């Protein structure tokens, strides 16, 4: 393993990092686990309504297994509407969409502790194969979902096609992008955060076409009901049922712009770190309940293992990052600011020490043709003031210059094969070159970054381009677009192609989709090129 200290010696730039982790003692008395763990199981569910209203999903595929998910919730916006007892759910996996050729079946308990959600890790599957699945409880059957395994590790796969999605504020638009995504020819979906938004109810208006179901969410039931509201969207359900997903979070799954154990929102009841960590523990628990994640991600208090690595044969490796849970506080008071001393602090980190070591080790050992960093906030430097003067967003990698410098030096010196960064968060489309030194336009290009716009957050958008998106202030920016939609990435051993699929509008459910631009990256030639 390439150790953190060894890497720093390699780059002749030793650093230190203060420990930001709060001990578990602050959680004395925090009881997220239900008192119902020893309740007897019931053979048949007696439900007030159809129990599979939240649909089905699959995720984190590998070459022989995949995770299947559902949740029993006959009254989704009322805590689920389930009695506090364990319920056995049968599951089936078939090789045909009509579920006639059953390959595997079993039973899993849906427990009150996990809001009657279940995840099944189906093993013993064939590599690079499509499967269909469903859940059954009593006389009720779930919708049928489709999923797939990845090519065998070490095999020479010739193609991969996936969508990049993020930022789906329920109130600010319809999920029309997911309708089109579900109809696309894809292998999987990558979601890089802001799956839900934690805020309260906004008044209906031309820019707010639908409403949240409660004031700002703080409690266990609040978070469960909010996730259920989002999962009730039929277009989102269709995209989940069509493909396996790889997911990571950003901030709104807990609270806007939080950093580790630090709450960033003023005038909130959770400014004390111990209290905020209780809220974080609740939010992490409910996120796990609603996502097709493997069991190792089940949170323990306020801690949840989300960074992980998934392979698609020898063609691509996804290095899935978590830039929210371990970061130091945003410098300079957060926001968009001029540089301050804290902005350059070598002890500041956006990934945390352990995750940074893990990332470098994985990149150093990777045998994949394409190394994909699926993560939350923009890596490339962006000067957000046109002309004289410079300002930067402190919540992005721009706020953690030492972290980014280490990553750029690693890419320059160790040269992992074809690094491509996938990003969300900002509700715009961007295509950018990653530079060894962003302050020197002549420095080496060491990678490529594709930033996907939101599914719905910030409403319809516009065709306006900020004045700082120009070749003088930010010469590494090759494309900007402020419409909603998703990215479609098509990967072969020789070429990566990204299509920027955008919607005419999201404030009505009838938006149409078109391709705003396409870019390629060639094998062995870092940097984006417009088609």
The CATH number given to whatever domain includes residue 47 is 2.60.40.380
What is the domain range of residue 64?
A: 33-146
- In this structure, the answer to whether residues 495 and 424 fall within a common structural domain is yes
The burial class, CB within 10 Å (0-12 / 13-18 / 19+), for 294 is middle
At residue 417, the pLDDT reads: 98
What SS3 class is residue 514? Answer: strand
Instruction: Give the DSSP letter string of 79-97.
Output: TB---SSBEEEEEEEESST
> When comparing pLDDT for 158 and 34, which is higher?
158
Whether the CB-CB separation of 402 and 346 falls below 8 Å is answered with: yes
pLDDT band of 116, cuts 50, 70, 90 = very high
Q: What residues contact 137, with CB distance under 8 A and at least 6 apart?
A: 44, 45, 51, 72, 87, 88, 89, 90, 110
Q: Is residue 241 part of a domain?
A: no
> What is the arithmetic mean of pLDDT over 277-303?
98
Q: Is residue 175 part of a domain?
A: yes
At residue 45, the pLDDT reads: 46
- The domain total for the chain is 2
Structure tokens at 83: 């009695």
What CATH number does residue 332 fall under? Answer: 3.60.21.70
- Out of 108, 126, 146, pick the residue that ends a domain: 146
Residues 167-177 pLDDT 10s: 999 999 999 99
Structure tokens at 166: 């993020």
Q: Is residue 12 part of a domain?
A: no
pLDDT surpassing 70 at residue 208 = yes
Q: Is residue 190 part of a domain?
A: yes
What SS3 class is residue 509? Answer: coil
- In this structure, the answer to whether residues 45 and 67 fall within a common structural domain is yes
- In this structure, the answer to whether residues 130 and 161 fall within a common structural domain is no
- In this structure, the answer to whether residues 446 and 496 fall within a common structural domain is yes
CA 511 to chain centre: 24
- In this structure, the answer to whether residues 455 and 362 fall within a common structural domain is yes
At residue 272, the pLDDT reads: 86
At residue 24, the pLDDT reads: 30
> What is the arithmetic mean of pLDDT over 28-42?
35
At residue 502, the pLDDT reads: 98
Among residues 326, 429, 422, 331, the alpha carbon closest in space to that of 370 is found at 422
- In this structure, the answer to whether residues 169 and 311 fall within a common structural domain is yes
**Beta-carbon count within 10 A of 469 CB:** 17
pLDDT band of 80, cuts 50, 70, 90 = very high
d(CA 219, CA 249): 19
- In this structure, the answer to whether residues 365 and 448 fall within a common structural domain is yes
> DSSP code of 416?
-
Instruction: Give the DSSP letter string of 340-398.
Output: -GGGG-TT--SS-HHHHHHHHHHHHH---SEEEEE-SS--S----S-SSS--EETTSGG
> What is the arithmetic mean of pLDDT over 437-454?
97
Q: What percentage of the chain reaches a pLDDT higher than 90?
A: 89
- In this structure, the answer to whether residues 186 and 38 fall within a common structural domain is no
Mean per-residue pLDDT of the chain? 91
d(CA 307, CA 488): 23
Residues 455-513 pLDDT 10s: 999 999 999 999 999 999 999 999 999 999 999 999 999 999 999 999 999 999 999 99
> What is the arithmetic mean of pLDDT over 109-130?
98
* Letter string b/e over residues 388-399, b meaning 16 or more CB atoms within 10 A of that residue's CB: eebbbbbbbbbb
> What is the arithmetic mean of pLDDT over 172-194?
98
Q: Is residue 121 part of a domain?
A: yes
Q: Is residue 84 part of a domain?
A: yes
- In this structure, the answer to whether residues 66 and 162 fall within a common structural domain is no
Whether the CB-CB separation of 110 and 52 falls below 8 Å is answered with: no
At residue 46, the pLDDT reads: 76
pLDDT surpassing 70 at residue 20 = no
pLDDT band of 266, cuts 50, 70, 90 = low
- In this structure, the answer to whether residues 484 and 391 fall within a common structural domain is yes
d(CA 254, CA 286): 10
pLDDT surpassing 50 at residue 149 = yes
Among residues 24, 30, 11, 3, the alpha carbon closest in space to that of 410 is found at 11
pLDDT band of 264, cuts 50, 70, 90 = confident
DSSP H or E run through 422: strand 419-423
Whether the CB-CB separation of 31 and 77 falls below 8 Å is answered with: no
Among residues 335, 510, 530, 514, the alpha carbon closest in space to that of 430 is found at 530
**Beta-carbon count within 10 A of 139 CB:** 7
- Out of 146, 176, 193, pick the residue that ends a domain: 146
What is the pTM assigned to this prediction?
0.91
Q: Please state whether 63 falls in left (phi above 0), alpha (psi between -120 and 50) or beta.
A: alpha
Q: Is the dihedral of CA 96, 97, 100, 105 positive or negative?
A: positive
Q: Is residue 60 part of a domain?
A: yes
pLDDT surpassing 50 at residue 7 = no
**Beta-carbon count within 10 A of 30 CB:** 15
Strands 485-491 and 160-165: antiparallel
Q: Is residue 493 part of a domain?
A: yes
- In this structure, the answer to whether residues 345 and 419 fall within a common structural domain is yes
The burial class, CB within 10 Å (0-12 / 13-18 / 19+), for 184 is middle
* Torsion, Cα of 297, 364, 165, 495 (10° steps): -150
At residue 254, the pLDDT reads: 98
> In whole angstroms, how far apart are CA 230 and each of 170, 237, 258?
7, 9, 21
- In this structure, the answer to whether residues 93 and 165 fall within a common structural domain is no
At residue 268, the pLDDT reads: 58
């Amino acid at each position: 393993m390439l150790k953190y200290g060894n890497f720093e010696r390699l780059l002749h730039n030793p650093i230190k990092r203060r420990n930001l982790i709060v001990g578990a003692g602050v959680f004395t008395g925090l009881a997220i686990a239900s008192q119902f763990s020893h309740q007897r199981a019931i053979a048949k569910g007696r439900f007030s309504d159809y129990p599979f209203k939240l649909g089905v999903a699959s995720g984190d595929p590998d070459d022989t297994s995949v995770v299947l998910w559902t949740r029993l919730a006959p009254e989704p916006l009322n805590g689920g509407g389930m009695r506090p007892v364990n319920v056995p759910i049968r599951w089936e996996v078939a090789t045909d969409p009509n579920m006639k050729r059953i390959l595997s079946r079993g039973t899993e308990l849906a427990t009150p502790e996990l809001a009657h959600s279940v995840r099944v890790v189906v093993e013993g599957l064939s590599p690079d194969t499509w499967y269909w699945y469903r859940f059954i409880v009593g006389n009720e059957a779930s919708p049928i979902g489709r999923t797939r395994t990845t090519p065998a590790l070490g095999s020479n796969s010739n193609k991969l096609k996936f969508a990049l999605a993020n930022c789906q504020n329920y109130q600010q638009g319809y999920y029309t992008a997911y309708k089109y995504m579900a109809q696309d020819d894809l292998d999987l979906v990558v979601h890089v955060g802001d799956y839900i938004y934690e805020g309260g109810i906004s008044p209906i208006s031309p820019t707010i076409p639908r409403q949240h179901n409660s004031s700002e969410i703080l409690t266990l039931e609040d978070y469960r009901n909010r996730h259920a509201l989002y999962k009730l969207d039929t277009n989102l359900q269709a995209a989940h049922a069509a493909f396996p997903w790889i997911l990571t979070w950003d901030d709104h799954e807990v609270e806007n712009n939080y950093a580790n154990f630090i709450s960033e929102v003023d005038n909130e009841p959770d400014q004390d770190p111990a209290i905020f960590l209780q809220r974080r523990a609740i939010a992490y628990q409910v996120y796990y309940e609603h996502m097709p994640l493997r069991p190792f991600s089940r949170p323990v208090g306020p801690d949840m293992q989300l960074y992980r690595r998934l392979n698609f044969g020898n063609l691509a490796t996804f290095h899935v990052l978590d830039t929210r849970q371990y970061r130091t506080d945003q410098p300079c008071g957060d926001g968009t600011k001029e540089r301050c001393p804290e902005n350059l602090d070598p002890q500041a980190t956006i990934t945390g020490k352990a995750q940074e070591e893990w990332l470098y080790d994985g990149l150093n050992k990777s045998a994949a043709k394409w190394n994909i960093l699926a993560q939350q906030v923009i890596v490339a430097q962006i000067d957000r003031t046109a002309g004289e003067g410079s300002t930067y967003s402190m919540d992005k990698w721009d706020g953690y210059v030492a972290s980014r410098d280490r990553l750029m030096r690693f890419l320059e010196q160790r040269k992992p094969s074809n690094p491509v960064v996938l990003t969300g968060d900002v509700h715009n489309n961007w295509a950018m070159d990653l530079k060894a030194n962003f302050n020197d336009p002549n420095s080496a290009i060491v990678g490529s970054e594709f930033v996907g716009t939101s599914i719905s957050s910030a409403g319809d958008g516009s065709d306006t381009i900020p004045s700082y998106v120009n070749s003088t202030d930010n010469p590494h920016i090759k494309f900007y677009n402020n419409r909603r939609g998703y990215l479609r990435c098509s990967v072969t051993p020789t070429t990566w192609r990204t299509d920027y699929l955008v919607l005419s509008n999201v404030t009505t459910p009838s938006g149409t989709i078109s391709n705003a631009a396409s870019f390629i990256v060639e094998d062995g030639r870092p940097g984006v090129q417009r088609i």
